[in-house]
Amino acid sequence: MDAVMLVGGQGTRLRPLTMSAPKPMLPVAGVPVTAHMLARARDAGIDRVVLATSYRAEVFEEYFGDGSAHGLQLEYVTETEPMGTGGAIRNVAERLHGGPGDPVVIFNGDILAGLDIQALVARHTGTGAAVTLHLTRVVDPRAFGVVPVDDDGRVTAFLEKTPDPPTNLINAGCYVFRRSVIDTIPTGRPVSVERETFPGLLAAGTAVMGYPDDTYWLDLGTPAAFVQGSRDLVTGRMASPALPGPVGDCLVLPGAVVAADAKIGGGATVGAGAWVGAGAAIDGAVLFDGAVVEAGAVVRDSVIGRDAVIGSGVALDGVVIGDGVRIERGNELRSGARVFPGVVLSAGAVRFSSDRT
Ligand code: GDD
Ligand code: MG
3-state secondary structure 95-121: HCCCCCCCEEEEEECCEEECCCHHHHH
Please name which ligand lies nearest the alpha carbon of 112. Answer: 1
Give me the pLDDT at residue 187, please: 95
Give me the pLDDT at residue 335, please: 85
Ligand 1 atom index nearest CA of 172: 32
- Protein residues with C-beta less than 5 angstroms from the ion ligand 2: 110, 219, 221
Low-confidence ranges of the chain (pLDDT < 50): 357
Q: Domain 249-345 has what CATH class?
A: mainly beta
Ligand 1 atom index nearest CA of 193: 35
Other Cβ atoms less than 10 A from the Cβ of 187: the count is 11
- 304/283 Cα distance (integer angstroms): 12
In the chain, the amino acid numbered 286 is V
What is the distance in A from the centroid of ligand 1 to the CA of 108?
6
Residues of CATH 2.160.10.10 domain(s) within the chain?
249-345
Give me the pLDDT at residue 19, please: 87
What is the distance in A from the centroid of ligand 1 to the CA of 114?
19
Query: Which of 50, 77, 85, 169, when mutated, tests ligand 1's pocket best, judged by the most ligand atoms within 8 Å of its CB?
Result: 85
- Classified by CATH at the fold level, domain 2-219 comes out as Spore Coat Polysaccharide Biosynthesis Protein SpsA; Chain A (3.90.550)
What is the distance in A from the centroid of ligand 1 to the CA of 39?
20
Residues of CATH 3.90.550.10 domain(s) within the chain?
2-219
What is the distance in A from the centroid of ligand 1 to the CA of 263?
36
Longest dimension (CA), the chain: 64
Give me the pLDDT at residue 32, please: 96
Name which residue sits closest to atom 3 of ligand 1, judged by CA: 8
Give me the pLDDT at residue 352, please: 67
What is the distance in A from the centroid of ligand 2 to the CA of 113?
12
Any residues with Cβ below 6 Å from ligand 1, and which?
6-9, 24, 52-54, 79, 82-85, 88, 108-111, 144-145, 160, 170-171, 173, 194, 219, 221
Sheet bearing 250-252, strands edge to edge: 250-252, 268-270, 286-287, 303-304, 320-321, 338-339
Q: Check residue 327 and report its DSSP letter.
A: E
Interior angle at CA 274, CA 268 and CA 279, nearest 5: 65
Interior angle at CA 281, CA 277 and CA 287, nearest 5: 75
User: Which of 151, 153, 150 has its CA nearest to residue 129?
Assistant: 153
Give me the pLDDT at residue 106, please: 98
What is the distance in A from the centroid of ligand 2 to the CA of 108?
7
